[in-house]
Structure 1
Amino acid sequence: MSGFLQLLRKKKELIPLIGFMAFAATGATSASIYFLFTKTDVIINKTGNPEPWERLDPSKPQKLITINQKWRPVEELELVKSITK
Protein backbone atom coordinates (compact mmCIF):
# COMPACT_ATOMS: atom_id res chain seq x y z
CA MET A 1 0.00 0.00 0.00
CA SER A 2 2.83 2.38 0.77
CA GLY A 3 4.25 1.75 -2.71
CA PHE A 4 0.93 2.86 -4.17
CA LEU A 5 0.94 6.07 -2.13
CA GLN A 6 4.54 6.78 -3.14
CA LEU A 7 3.54 6.33 -6.78
CA LEU A 8 0.72 8.86 -6.31
CA ARG A 9 3.16 11.34 -4.75
CA LYS A 10 5.52 11.00 -7.70
CA LYS A 11 2.85 11.05 -10.42
CA LYS A 12 0.13 13.42 -9.28
CA GLU A 13 -1.65 13.27 -12.65
CA LEU A 14 -2.96 9.80 -11.70
CA ILE A 15 -5.05 11.15 -8.82
CA PRO A 16 -8.03 12.34 -10.98
CA LEU A 17 -7.95 9.09 -12.97
CA ILE A 18 -8.13 7.03 -9.79
CA GLY A 19 -10.90 9.28 -8.49
CA PHE A 20 -13.00 8.80 -11.64
CA MET A 21 -12.41 5.04 -11.63
CA ALA A 22 -13.44 4.80 -7.97
CA PHE A 23 -16.57 6.85 -8.70
CA ALA A 24 -17.47 4.58 -11.65
CA ALA A 25 -16.88 1.41 -9.64
CA THR A 26 -19.00 2.73 -6.76
CA GLY A 27 -21.81 3.68 -9.15
CA ALA A 28 -21.78 0.29 -10.88
CA THR A 29 -21.80 -1.57 -7.58
CA SER A 30 -24.61 0.53 -6.12
CA ALA A 31 -26.70 0.18 -9.31
CA SER A 32 -26.22 -3.60 -9.23
CA ILE A 33 -27.30 -3.81 -5.61
CA TYR A 34 -30.29 -1.53 -6.28
CA PHE A 35 -31.50 -3.67 -9.20
CA LEU A 36 -30.90 -6.88 -7.26
CA PHE A 37 -33.15 -5.84 -4.38
CA THR A 38 -35.83 -3.75 -6.12
CA LYS A 39 -36.44 -5.26 -9.57
CA THR A 40 -38.56 -8.38 -9.83
CA ASP A 41 -37.01 -9.57 -13.08
CA VAL A 42 -33.60 -10.05 -11.43
CA ILE A 43 -33.43 -13.44 -9.73
CA ILE A 44 -30.72 -15.25 -7.81
CA ASN A 45 -32.28 -18.65 -7.19
CA LYS A 46 -33.43 -20.19 -10.47
CA THR A 47 -34.16 -23.61 -8.96
CA GLY A 48 -36.78 -22.27 -6.55
CA ASN A 49 -38.78 -20.61 -9.32
CA PRO A 50 -37.99 -21.99 -12.79
CA GLU A 51 -40.49 -19.63 -14.50
CA PRO A 52 -40.01 -16.24 -12.81
CA TRP A 53 -41.76 -14.32 -15.58
CA GLU A 54 -45.08 -15.81 -14.46
CA ARG A 55 -44.93 -13.86 -11.18
CA LEU A 56 -44.25 -10.43 -12.71
CA ASP A 57 -46.94 -7.81 -12.36
CA PRO A 58 -47.66 -6.68 -15.94
CA SER A 59 -49.00 -3.32 -14.82
CA LYS A 60 -45.70 -2.43 -13.12
CA PRO A 61 -43.07 -1.13 -15.57
CA GLN A 62 -39.87 -3.20 -15.69
CA LYS A 63 -37.73 -0.64 -17.50
CA LEU A 64 -35.55 1.98 -15.89
CA ILE A 65 -37.50 4.72 -17.69
CA THR A 66 -41.00 4.12 -19.06
CA ILE A 67 -42.66 6.81 -21.17
CA ASN A 68 -46.35 6.51 -22.20
CA GLN A 69 -46.55 2.74 -21.86
CA LYS A 70 -49.96 1.17 -21.36
CA TRP A 71 -50.41 -2.53 -20.85
CA ARG A 72 -53.43 -4.41 -22.09
CA PRO A 73 -53.73 -8.20 -21.81
CA VAL A 74 -53.71 -10.17 -25.05
CA GLU A 75 -56.81 -12.34 -25.12
CA GLU A 76 -55.16 -15.21 -26.98
CA LEU A 77 -52.34 -15.44 -24.47
CA GLU A 78 -54.72 -15.37 -21.53
CA LEU A 79 -56.68 -18.20 -23.15
CA VAL A 80 -53.52 -20.27 -23.67
CA LYS A 81 -52.46 -19.62 -20.06
CA SER A 82 -55.80 -20.78 -18.71
CA ILE A 83 -55.73 -23.95 -20.85
CA THR A 84 -52.15 -24.93 -19.95
CA LYS A 85 -52.57 -24.52 -16.19
Structure 2
Amino acid sequence: MNFFQLLMKKKELIPLVVFTAVAATGASSFAVYSLGKSDVIIDKKRNPEPWENVDPSVPRKLITINQEWKPIEELQKVRRATK
Protein backbone atom coordinates (compact mmCIF):
# COMPACT_ATOMS: atom_id res chain seq x y z
CA MET A 1 0.00 0.00 0.00
CA ASN A 2 1.33 3.40 -0.99
CA PHE A 3 2.00 6.03 1.70
CA PHE A 4 -0.23 8.61 0.02
CA GLN A 5 -3.01 6.08 -0.41
CA LEU A 6 -2.81 5.38 3.31
CA LEU A 7 -3.06 9.12 4.04
CA MET A 8 -6.09 9.46 1.79
CA LYS A 9 -7.73 6.50 3.49
CA LYS A 10 -6.95 7.73 7.03
CA LYS A 11 -7.19 11.51 6.80
CA GLU A 12 -6.67 11.97 10.54
CA LEU A 13 -2.97 11.15 10.01
CA ILE A 14 -2.37 14.17 7.75
CA PRO A 15 -1.82 16.75 10.58
CA LEU A 16 0.51 14.32 12.37
CA VAL A 17 2.60 13.86 9.21
CA VAL A 18 2.67 17.63 8.54
CA PHE A 19 3.74 18.54 12.09
CA THR A 20 6.40 15.81 12.09
CA ALA A 21 7.76 16.98 8.73
CA VAL A 22 7.86 20.63 9.89
CA ALA A 23 9.64 19.65 13.12
CA ALA A 24 12.20 17.52 11.27
CA THR A 25 12.84 20.29 8.74
CA GLY A 26 13.26 22.88 11.49
CA ALA A 27 15.63 20.70 13.49
CA SER A 28 17.72 19.90 10.41
CA SER A 29 17.92 23.52 9.28
CA PHE A 30 18.95 24.69 12.77
CA ALA A 31 21.65 22.01 12.89
CA VAL A 32 23.03 23.21 9.55
CA TYR A 33 22.82 26.84 10.74
CA SER A 34 24.72 25.96 13.92
CA LEU A 35 27.60 24.44 11.95
CA GLY A 36 28.56 27.93 10.79
CA LYS A 37 28.85 29.30 14.31
CA SER A 38 32.24 30.15 15.78
CA ASP A 39 31.90 27.88 18.81
CA VAL A 40 31.45 24.75 16.68
CA ILE A 41 34.68 23.07 15.57
CA ILE A 42 34.41 20.76 12.58
CA ASP A 43 38.03 20.65 11.43
CA LYS A 44 40.53 20.97 14.30
CA LYS A 45 43.62 20.62 12.10
CA ARG A 46 43.05 23.60 9.79
CA ASN A 47 41.34 25.92 12.27
CA PRO A 48 41.87 24.80 15.89
CA GLU A 49 40.53 28.01 17.49
CA PRO A 50 37.85 29.55 15.24
CA TRP A 51 36.57 31.83 18.01
CA GLU A 52 39.73 33.93 17.65
CA ASN A 53 38.56 35.10 14.20
CA VAL A 54 35.15 36.37 15.29
CA ASP A 55 34.31 39.96 14.34
CA PRO A 56 32.74 41.49 17.46
CA SER A 57 30.76 44.04 15.46
CA VAL A 58 28.76 41.29 13.69
CA PRO A 59 25.92 39.81 15.76
CA ARG A 60 26.28 36.04 16.20
CA LYS A 61 22.87 35.30 17.71
CA LEU A 62 19.60 34.61 15.96
CA ILE A 63 18.08 37.65 17.65
CA THR A 64 20.14 40.53 19.04
CA ILE A 65 18.29 43.34 20.81
CA ASN A 66 20.10 46.55 21.87
CA GLN A 67 23.52 44.98 22.18
CA GLU A 68 26.67 47.06 22.08
CA TRP A 69 30.09 45.49 22.13
CA LYS A 70 32.88 47.11 24.11
CA PRO A 71 36.31 45.52 24.48
CA ILE A 72 37.37 44.38 27.94
CA GLU A 73 40.70 46.01 28.78
CA GLU A 74 42.08 43.11 30.79
CA LEU A 75 41.29 40.65 28.02
CA GLN A 76 42.95 42.88 25.42
CA LYS A 77 46.10 43.11 27.57
CA VAL A 78 46.23 39.32 27.93
CA ARG A 79 45.79 38.84 24.17
CA ARG A 80 48.56 41.33 23.40
CA ALA A 81 50.86 39.68 25.93
CA THR A 82 50.31 36.16 24.60
CA LYS A 83 50.78 37.02 20.91
Q: Same fold (TM over 0.5)?
A: yes
Which residue does the alignment assign to 1:23?
22
The TM-score, its normalising length taken from structure 1, stands at 0.75
User: Are 2:42 and 1:44 aligned?
Assistant: yes
**Alignment equivalent of 1:81, drawn from 76, 79, 82:** 79
Q: Give aligned-pair identity as a percent.
A: 64
| Counterpart Cα distance in 2 of 1:25 and 1:44 | 22
| Counterpart Cα distance in 1 of 2:59 and 2:39 | 11
Question: What CA deviation, in whole Å up to 9, does each residue of 1:53-72 have, x standing for no partner?
Answer: 10001111111111111111
Q: Unaligned stretches of 5+ in structure 1?
A: none
Whose RCO is larger (CA < 8 A, sep 6+)?
Answer: 1
The TM-score, its normalising length taken from structure 2, stands at 0.77
Q: How far off its partner does 1:7 sit?
A: 3.3
| Counterpart Cα distance in 2 of 1:66 and 1:5 | 42
| Counterpart Cα distance in 2 of 1:42 and 1:59 | 19
Q: Unaligned stretches of 5+ in structure 2?
A: none
| Aligned 8 A contact 1:41 1:53 in 2 | yes
How many pairs align?
Answer: 83
